Amino acid sequence: MSNEYLLAPGHRGCAGCCDAIAAKFVLEAIGSDCVVCSPTGCLEVFTTPYPESSWKVPWIHSLFDNAGAIAAGMETALKAMGKKGDTKVVVIAGDGATFDIGLQCISGAFERGHDIVYICIDNEAYMNTGVQRSAATPMFASTTTSPSGSASYGNTTLKKDMPAILAAHGSPYVATASISYAPDFIRKVKKA
């Protein structure tokens, strides 16, 4: 494996940003033979301020809701051109784009069996726009749209079980991991 960073240092992520760390680990595990899609969110904002990019691999920005469809299209196009080979098609998205807004496109891609690696960075709320609740927000967690206090107990719904939902689509591999345990995270991405 090369010592070259495939997500260049000097991006505009916050110090210790989980998105930057996760993207670094994903690219370390997969290597340079990949194409990456990121929907609107923190990762897209701080890695690609026009006209710059921190990505040293082919990268595309999708709308908030269609990363699954974009990845399915890229995978299909690579196959049709006879260039798929070992090239990995990767989505790195937040929980809002995964659990909520993009679920229909993810469902379609998984149901059709597209060969994509989908990484959800689950920080349990829409952090880029002010910590609003998402379907990934745990019950009773306090967010700007589900505050806790004397009149409210915070989020009133259970966190959506996305791993179970994706496994129910017949996906050959579904895993959960944390950037806190880098070797486990990288091993699971390599297996995907």
Considering the domain boundaries, does residue 51 fall inside one? yes
Question: pTM higher than 0.85, yes or no?
Answer: yes
Q: How large is the average pLDDT for residues 102-128? A: 95
Considering the domain boundaries, does residue 11 fall inside one? no
Domain count, the chain: 1
Letter for the amino acid at 164?
A
Question: Considering the domain boundaries, does residue 183 fall inside one?
Answer: yes
Q: pLDDT tens digits for 143-173? A: 999 888 888 889 999 999 999 999 999 999 9
Q: Is residue 7 part of a domain?
A: no
104, part of any domain = yes
Tell me, yes or no, whether 8 lies in a domain. no
Model confidence at 109: pLDDT above 60: yes
Q: Which domain holds residue 69?
A: 18-191
* 5 domain-assigned: no
For β-strands 88-94 and 117-121, DSSP reports them as parallel
CATH at residue 101: 3.40.50.970
Cβ contact 190:27 at 8 Å: no
Give the confidence band of 3 by pLDDT, cuts at 50, 70, 90.
low
In a domain, 172, yes or no: yes
Strand arrangement of the beta sheet that strand 88-94 belongs to: 59-62, 34-39, 88-94, 117-121
